Amino acid sequence: MDNVLVLVRHGQSEWNLQNLFTGWRDPDLTEKGVAEAKQAGELLKSEGFHFDIAFTSVLHRAQRTLDLMLEKLGQTGLEIISDKALNERHYGDLCGLNKDDARKKWGDEQVHLWRRSYDVPPPGGESLKDTAERVLPYYKENIWPKIKAGQNVLVAAHGNSIRALVMHLEQLSPAEIVSREIATGVPIIYNLTKDGEFAKKRLLAA
């Protein structure tokens, strides 16, 4: 299994559970999140995956998810590169707010626009377009060359940084990507061609 890219959104975080806008804040995983990360590692191991390098963000929930997966894979000595380019979308003034409270303050329509539009950022924060503009150059300069060289790469990141990668790999439109849900702890497996296009994709769910 060469030229494989596996993307995994971190397991459920404490703020996911509390329905809070998280962004670049740094909560830990819940017990469920830990279980999701371990299960992802077990599923990858059961399919015989062996990785050459891993990438993650600088946020604890993604790093811990990666560590738990590698533990289950028996690859705890793998080279890991962490970079803020893979961080979650920055929600600006919304960070730390309950989503229901945000709707009461700004209205359902405005909060929905911030959450689900492609290029409208919340106050002081990033849109998905902004997020893609830091994720994709990093992918092209640092991750893709590893895959092109025949290495298998594991990326543990966040809902919106992964959306940016999925949009690029599957050549989706802004309208298509904002409606794409990225489940916590579910590996997305891409087999890529020498040109960086995906030849095959599947989800590895229990």
Euclidean distance between CA atoms 151 and 9, whole angstroms: 21
Query: What's the pLDDT tens digit per position in 61-99?
Result: 999 999 999 999 999 999 999 999 999 999 999 999 999
Set 10, 90, 158, 168: catalytic member: 10
Q: Looking at the predicted structure, is the pLDDT value of residue 2 above 80?
A: no
Per the annotation, the verdict on 88 as an active-site residue is: yes
Choice among 31, 50, 88, 90 that is catalytic: 88
Name the residue with tokens 């893979």.
86
Across the strands, what pairs with 8?
A: 156
Strand ranges for 33-180 from DSSP E: 53-56, 80-82, 153-157
Using an 8 Å Cβ cutoff, are 183 and 12 in contact? no
Q: Report which DSSP code applies to 165.
A: H
Task: Please report the pLDDT score of residue 205 as a whole number.
Answer: 86
Domains of the chain, first to last: 9-203 (3.40.50.1240)
Query: Residue 46 phi/psi, 5° resolution?
Result: -65, -25
Band the pLDDT of 1: cuts 50, 70, 90: low
Residue 186 near residue 159, CB atoms below 8 Å: no
- DSSP label at 98? B
177 band by pLDDT with thresholds 50, 70 and 90: very high
Compute the Cα dihedral for 9, 43, 155, 194 and give only its sign. negative
pLDDT in tens, 117-161: 999 999 999 999 999 999 999 999 999 999 999 999 999 999 999
Structure tokens at 16: 């996911």
Catalytic, 10? Answer: yes
Q: Which residues of 7-44 are buried (b: 16+ CB within 10 A; e: fewer)?
A: bbbbbbbebbeeebbbbbbebebbeebbebbbbbbebb
